[in-house]
């Protein structure tokens, strides 16, 4: 069974040679081998004194020089500073067959390559295709062989039909591949967003836990202060009791010693003289030691019990809350000022939701004023958090704000960010909107064309107010073509001369004269044409709603068009006989 077409075949007396040959693969291998041989033959030594130079044997990747064997030994020895250089085989020649170009090996069937012959009839070429057997056959196979009653069609027609089917299938695969690439970009952006959100959430969590620790530390300090006050109070009470008891004990001891000395006296009359008073003093002293006087007024134990169990339970239960419905409106979005910027007359804004925000977000509404302090208007509604708005006014100050929404409603506005557009436009030719025959180079500042018909290319800037002037330099001008210079709307027709439809206003010019054109109407014929080296200026004054043209600094008649209003882009039409270089716009003009 063939692994490619999955058809079963029986071996006859020829064995494996009886199988159909994959001629397409043979042709690819042959072109590749021819390309390798031609590339090896084309690579020559760059240091040889001989004429012609010897074939190159190696390429030094550091020196970027091809050496033959003799020059390598003489000029690039494998020692000293050359010891670490990497030597590689000579590269494929860019013009060789299979080496990056056609190389003369890409001819059609019969264009230098031997036509395949029938496997059954060596002298016959394939001319038909058997639909039943799905294989090419010759004329003799139809007359004598097993295909004489099969459904057959012309080989060329089936070749084109199958090529078309393959191309159509490839288009489907190409679309899926494009979707896969976009999906990969989306996933990579998701990775970055997850990383950023993770870091934000970690920082927020650390801050919240630190705040809890700080609160606990402050509360600990308050509790310690209470304990300190209670301890100082107890100590003061005990010390006061010690001092009082010590004083009374000293008085009682003195009285006792005096009474003992009095009792020792043998003079009855003297004893009786003071005994009454002394007895009263002893009784008073005894009465001072009332019940409880010899008991401590405070306890050594502290009557303070810290109830930490609820707090410990709360700490153990501390966790991320789950989203529960109904939910409230989203919080205020945070504008990422480091990512907000302006370029020409476009502004880019970026924002994000605050970390640890628990309310879901279904989309955002971005609003912008008119650049003159007017009312805000919606310019974007969607799920993205990065938005670029084009086609704004130059030299204008715009205010922007954003808000989020979900099923519960619309959240509050963010802070307003102020963005200033450029004073003067800086633009190039736009490859994305140009006709496919337009050829751009020099960082999209130089334009020419592959076709003898006129094709249109637009600039990357759009103008809606103010005064704008730019110049174009004619680098090449052959066979007296009629290039056209002017302005156009974004939906201008691009496969004919600029100004032939109602979306463009232009001046087309030859080597002697110029004309203004709009809606295929030719007006204001003026003497003075262009040649190689000429400079064409375009002055768009949207304050006066007029368009004026210059050739080499000389105005071509009165203002070409008046009452021009709207949004316009610089435009040019040309064919392959002209090459034009864009000179950047300038705040000054003739």
**Region 258-281 average pLDDT:** 86
Query: To 5 degrees, how large is the angle CA 390–CA 391–CA 395?
Result: 105
For residue 404, the cross-strand partners are 364
* Residues 168 and 284 placed together within one structural domain of the fold: yes
* pTM exceeding 0.85: no
Around Cβ 464, how many Cβ atoms within 10 Å?
A: 16
In terms of DSSP H, where are the helices of 45-85? 69-75
Task: Report the alpha-carbon distance of residue 302 to residue 483 in Å, rounded.
Answer: 102
Confidence of residue 288 (pLDDT cuts 50, 70, 90): confident
The reported pLDDT for the residue numbered 470 is: 92
User: In this model, does residue 97 exceed pLDDT 50?
Assistant: no
Query: Are 235 and 342 members of one domain?
Result: no
CATH number at 31 reads 4.10.830.40
Greatest CA separation found in the chain?
Answer: 179
Look at residue 102 and tell me whether its pLDDT is greater than 50: no
Predicted local confidence at residue 549, as pLDDT: 92
Query: CA-to-CA distance for 504 and 520, rounded, in angstroms?
Result: 10
Local structure of residue 17 (DSSP, 8 states): G
User: Residue 382's pLDDT is what?
Assistant: 94
- Considering 288, 304, 322, which residue would you say is the last residue of a domain? 288
Q: Residue 534 and residue 485: Cα distance in Å, rounded?
A: 13
Residue 29's pLDDT band (cuts 50, 70, 90): confident
What is the rounded average pLDDT of the residues 513-538? Answer: 91
Helix axes 268-288, 155-263, angle to 10 degrees: 160
Tell me: do 181 and 273 sit in the same domain.
Answer: yes
CATH of the domain at 537: 2.60.120.920
Choosing from 420, 453, 471, the residue where a domain stops is 420
Is the same domain home to 280 and 351? no
**What is the pLDDT of the chain when averaged over all its residues?**
84
pLDDT tens-place string over residues 230-264: 999 999 999 998 998 898 888 889 988 888 888 88
Q: Which two tokens stand for residue 352?
A: 């994000």
Q: Are residues 279 and 346 in the same domain?
A: no
- In tens, the pLDDT along 432-455 reads 999 999 999 999 999 999 999 999
Q: Residue 110 — very low, low, confident or very high, per pLDDT cuts 50/70/90?
A: very low
How confident is residue 267, by pLDDT bands cut at 50, 70 and 90?
confident
Sorted by sequence, the CB contacts under 8 Å of residue 90 that are 6+ apart come out as 39, 40, 43, 56, 57, 58, 59, 66
d(CA 530, CA 553) in angstroms, rounded, equals 12
Q: Which residue has the higher pLDDT, 422 or 37?
A: 422
CATH code, 375: 2.60.40.10
Q: Specify whether 446 is located in the same domain as 556.
A: yes
Residue 10 lies in a domain: no
Residue 362 belongs to some domain of the structure: yes
Is it the case that residue 475 has pLDDT exceeding 90? yes
Q: Are 584 and 426 in contact (CB under 8 A)?
A: yes
Q: How many CB atoms lie within 10 A of CB 243?
A: 10
Mean pLDDT of 322-349: 82
Least confident of 59-63, 79-83, 324-328, 494-498: 324-328
Q: Which of 358, 391, 420 is the last residue of a domain?
A: 420
Q: Give 107's pLDDT tier (boundaries 50, 70, 90).
A: very low
Given pLDDT bands bounded at 50, 70 and 90, which one contains residue 109? very low
pLDDT at 509 over 60: yes
Is the confidence at residue 324, as pLDDT, over 60?
no
163-201 pLDDT per residue, tens: 888 888 888 888 889 999 999 999 998 898 889 888 888
Q: Go through the chain and tell me how many residues it has.
A: 590
Confidence of residue 414 (pLDDT cuts 50, 70, 90): very high
Same domain, 243 and 197: yes
Instruction: Please compute the mean of the pLDDT values over residues 74-97 and round it to a whole number.
Output: 75
Q: Which range (2-16, 331-345, 420-434, 547-561) has the least confidence? A: 2-16
pLDDT category, 544, cuts 50, 70, 90? confident
Beta bridge partners of 348: 341, 388
At 98, the pLDDT band (50, 70, 90 cuts) reads very low
Q: What is the CA radius of gyration of the chain?
A: 49
Residue 449 lies in a domain: yes
For β-strands 554-555 and 546-551, DSSP reports them as antiparallel
Question: Predicted confidence band at 106 (pLDDT cuts at 50, 70, 90)?
Answer: very low
pLDDT in tens, 125-155: 777 888 878 888 887 777 776 776 788 888 8
Q: Is residue 271 located within the same domain as residue 187?
A: yes
Q: Could you give the CA distance from residue 255 to residue 8 in angstroms, rounded to a whole number?
A: 137
Segments forming the whole domain that contains residue 536? 438-583
Number of domains in the chain: 4
Please give the average per-residue pLDDT across 266-287, as a whole number.
85
Q: Is residue 390 part of a domain?
A: yes
For residues 386 and 346, membership in a common domain is answered with yes
User: How high is the pLDDT of residue 432?
Assistant: 92
Residue 94 scores a pLDDT above 50: no
In-domain check, residue 540: yes
Predicted confidence (pLDDT) at residue 368 exceeds the cutoff of 90: yes
pLDDT at 369 over 80: yes
Q: Same domain for 402 and 459?
A: no
Q: Is the pLDDT reported for residue 100 higher than 60?
A: no
34-38, 264-268, 488-492: least confident range: 34-38
Q: Is residue 154 part of a domain?
A: no
What share of the chain has pLDDT > 90, as a percent? 35
Residue 190, classified by CB atoms within 10 Å of its CB into exposed (0-12), middle (13-18) or buried (19+), is exposed
457 and 501 part of one domain: yes
Helix (H, G, I), strand (E, B) or coil at 286: helix
Is there a domain that residue 128 lies in?
no
Record the tokens describing residue 400, joined without a space. 């922007």
Q: Which of 32-41, 72-81, 264-273, 498-507 has the lowest mean pLDDT?
A: 32-41
Q: Which two tokens stand for residue 446?
A: 């130089």
Band (pLDDT 50/70/90 cuts) for residue 62 is confident
pLDDT of amino acid 587:
46
pLDDT band, very low/low/confident/very high, at 315 (cuts 50, 70, 90): confident
Mean pLDDT of 77-95: 76
| Same structural domain, 267 and 394 | no
The answer to whether position 142 is within a domain reads no
Report the pLDDT value the prediction gives residue 437, as an integer from 0 to 100: 94
């Amino acid at each position: 069974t063939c692994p490619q077409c999955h058809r079963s075949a029986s071996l006859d007396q020829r064995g494996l040679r009886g199988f159909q040959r994959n001629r397409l693969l043979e042709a690819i291998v042959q072109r590749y081998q021819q390309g390798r041989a031609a590339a090896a033959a084309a690579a020559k030594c760059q240091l040889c004194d001989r004429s012609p130079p010897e074939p190159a044997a190696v390429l030094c990747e550091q020196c970027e020089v091809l050496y033959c064997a003799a020059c390598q030994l003489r000029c690039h020895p494998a020692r000293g500073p050359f010891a670490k250089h990497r030597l590689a085989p000579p590269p494929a020649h860019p013009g060789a067959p299979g080496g990056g170009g056609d190389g003369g090996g890409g001819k059609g069937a019969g264009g230098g390559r031997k036509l395949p012959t029938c496997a059954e009839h060596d002298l016959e070429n394939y001319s038909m295709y058997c639909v039943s057997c799905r294989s090419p056959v010759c004329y003799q196979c139809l007359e004598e062989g097993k295909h004489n009653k099969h459904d057959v069609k012309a080989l060329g027609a089936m070749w084109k039909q199958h090529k078309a089917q393959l191309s159509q299938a490839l288009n489907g695969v190409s679309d899926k591949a494009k979707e896969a690439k976009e999906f990969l970009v989306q996933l990579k952006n998701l990775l970055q967003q997850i990383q950023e959100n993770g870091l934000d959430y970690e920082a927020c969590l650390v801050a919240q836990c630190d705040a809890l620790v700080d609160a606990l530390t402050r509360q600990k300090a308050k509790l310690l202060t209470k304990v300190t006050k209670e301890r100082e109070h107890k100590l003061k009470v005990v010390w006061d009791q010690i001092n009082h008891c010590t004083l009374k004990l000293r008085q009682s001891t003195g009285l006792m010693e005096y009474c003992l000395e009095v009792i020792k006296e043998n003079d009855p009359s003297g004893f009786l003289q003071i005994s009454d008073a002394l007895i009263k003093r002893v009784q008073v002293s005894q009465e001072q030691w009332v019940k409880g006087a010899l008991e401590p007024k405070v306890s050594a134990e502290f009557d303070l019990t810290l109830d930490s169990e609820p707090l410990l339970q709360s700490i153990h239960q501390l966790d991320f809350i789950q989203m529960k419905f109904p939910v409230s409106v989203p919080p205020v979005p945070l504008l990422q000022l480091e990512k907000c910027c302006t370029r020409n007359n476009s502004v880019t804004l970026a924002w994000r939701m605050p970390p640890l925000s628990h309310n879901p977000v279904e989309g955002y509404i971005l609003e912008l004023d008119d650049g003159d302090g007017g009312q805000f208007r919606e310019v974007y509604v969607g799920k993205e958090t990065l938005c670029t708005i084009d086609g704004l006014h130059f030299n204008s100050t715009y205010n922007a704000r954003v808000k989020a929404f979900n099923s519960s409603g619309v959240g509050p506005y963010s802070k307003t960010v102020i963005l200033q557009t450029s004073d003067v436009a800086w633009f190039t030719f736009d490859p994305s909107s140009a006709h496919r025959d337009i050829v751009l180079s020099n960082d999209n500042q130089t334009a020419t064309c592959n076709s003898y018909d006129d094709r249109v290319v637009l600039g990357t800037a759009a103008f809606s107010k103010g005064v704008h002037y730019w110049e174009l330099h004619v680098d090449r001008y052959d066979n007296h073509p009629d290039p056209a210079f002017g302005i156009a709307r974004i939906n201008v027709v691009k496969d004919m001369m600029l100004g032939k439809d109602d979306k463009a206003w232009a001046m087309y010019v030859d080597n002697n004269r110029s004309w203004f054109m709009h809606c295929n109407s030719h007006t204001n014929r003026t003497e003075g044409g262009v040649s190689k080296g000429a400079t064409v200026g375009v002055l768009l004054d949207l304050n006066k709603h007029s368009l004026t043209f210059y050739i080499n600094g000389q105005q071509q008649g009165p203002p070409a068009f008046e009452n021009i209003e709207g949004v316009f882009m610089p435009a040019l039409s040309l064919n392959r006989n002209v090459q034009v270089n864009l000179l950047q716009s300038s705040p000054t003009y003739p």
